[in-house]
Amino acid sequence: MKLRVLLVLVSCVLSVVTGLVLARGGSAATATGEKKVLTIGLSLDTLKEARWQTDRDLFVKRAEELGAKVLVQSANGDDAIQISDVEKLITNKVDVLVIVPHDGTAMAKGVRMAHAAGIPVIAYDRIIRDTELDLYVSFDNVRVGRMQAQYIVDNLPTPGKGRIIRIYGSKTDNNAKLFKEGQDQVLEPYIKRGDIEVIFEDWAEDWKQENAKKIVNAAITKFQDNFDAILASNDGTAGGAIQALIEEGYAGKKLVTGQDAELVACQRIAQGTQSMTIYKPLKTLATKGAELAVALAKGKPVVANQTVNNGKVDVPAALNDVVTVTSKNIEQTVIADGFHKREDVFRGAANK
C-alpha cells in the first residue's frame, strides 16, 4: 500500500514537472488482498490480417509471463459482434479490457459498458473516440503517414514531381485518418505548387486487399500507366494494388508504399514489386500493452509520457516509434530485430 502511494506521489510530481500523466486503475485494486489470477479481456477487430495474429500472440505471451490469463475475442470486422464480444468479456468478469476497435467511434459504447462494471479499458493501436478511455497504446500514426509520403516525394523518377494514386484505409478506423493527415502534411506544398498531382484517390473499405485492387483497376482504366506511384496506406492495400499492377504488366515499375512489415510485403520488397513498408515493432507494443494491462488490472498507477485527445478527454498515451524499411535496410531492421527470418524474406527473390 505504502509503495502504491509512493508511486502515485512520484508520478504526480513527475506530471507537474514533465507533463507525465497517470491512468486510472481497475476495481481489482479494491479487492481484499487475497491472491487471484488476473484476467485480461482482449477484443480484436479481426484476426484475418497477419499483423493482428502477431499482436495477439505477443500480447498473450507477455501477459502469461506476468501470471495473467487472457480471454481473446475477434469480431471479423463487425461492430455488433465486437459489442457482444465486449459484453461476454464483462460477463466473464475480466479485470481489464484491451480493445482494438473495428469502429473507433461506435466502440465508445463498449467503454461505457465496461466502466459501468468497474473495468478499465485500454485502446490498443486504434484509439476509441468521444469517451472516457483510460489508456491508449499505439505508434505515432501521423508520423507513419509522413514517412510514407516522404518516401514517395524523395523517390519519384523526378524527386518532388509526379502523378500519384492514393489509397486510404478504412473510414471507421481513426488510424486511417491519422495516416492520411501525416501524408497530407508532406504532400500539400507539392500539390499546391502543381508538382505532384493526385490523379486518383479512394478509401479501401475495411482495409480490404480486394477493395484496394478495385481502386487501382479503376485508376488504370482511366489513366493506363500514366502515373508514377501508389501511396498505399498499409501492406494489405499495397498487396491489392500490386496485384492490379501485375495484371497489367506494371509491377516493379511504379513506387508502392505500405505499412506493417508483413512477411509477404517484405518478400515483395525483396522481389522489387513493393518499394517500402513501415516497420512498427509489434513486440514493443504488445509487451508494453500487456504490462500496462496487468498494472491497471492490479489498480497500480500507470505513468504515460503523453496524452492524446479523443474528442472528449486527454487520454494518457504510450506511443512507440516506427522505421521505414526498403530493400536497402531490410537486413538491419526487420531481420536484425528478429521480426522475420532472413530465409523467409528472401524466399523466391531472384537477387538472393
Give the binding site for ligand BGC (CB under 6 A).
49, 51, 125-126, 169, 173, 175, 207, 234, 259-260
C-alpha distances (whole Å) from 11 to each of 6, 7, 24, 208, 301 are 8, 6, 12, 42, 8
Q: Which is nearer to ligand BGC, 145 or 316 (CB)?
A: 145
Q: Which is nearer to ligand BGC, 134 or 260 (CB)?
A: 260
Contacts of 202 (CB under 8 A, 6+ apart): 166, 167, 168, 215, 218
For 295, counting Cβ atoms within 10 Å of its Cβ (0-12 exposed, 13-18 middle, 19+ buried), the class is buried
Q: Dihedral sign for Cα 156, 161, 166, 168, please.
A: positive
Look at phi and psi of residue 125 and say left if phi exceeds 0, alpha if psi is from -120 to 50, else beta: left
Give the span between the Cα atoms of 223 and 279, in whole angstroms. Answer: 31
- For residue 116, the minimal CB distance to ligand BGC (Å) is 27
Q: Which is nearer to ligand BGC, 39 or 257 (CB)?
A: 257
First-to-last CA distance in the chain? 58
Q: Which is nearer to ligand BGC, 302 or 319 (CB)?
A: 319
Beta bridge partners of 320: 139
Q: Which is nearer to ligand BGC, 43 or 259 (CB)?
A: 259
- For residue 121, the minimal CB distance to ligand BGC (Å) is 17
Tally helices (H) and strands (E) across the chain: 11, 15
- For residue 205, the minimal CB distance to ligand BGC (Å) is 12
- For residue 142, the minimal CB distance to ligand BGC (Å) is 12
Contacts of 206 (CB under 8 A, 6+ apart): 77, 170, 172
- For residue 10, the minimal CB distance to ligand BGC (Å) is 32
Q: Which is nearer to ligand BGC, 41 or 258 (CB)?
A: 258
- For residue 12, the minimal CB distance to ligand BGC (Å) is 32
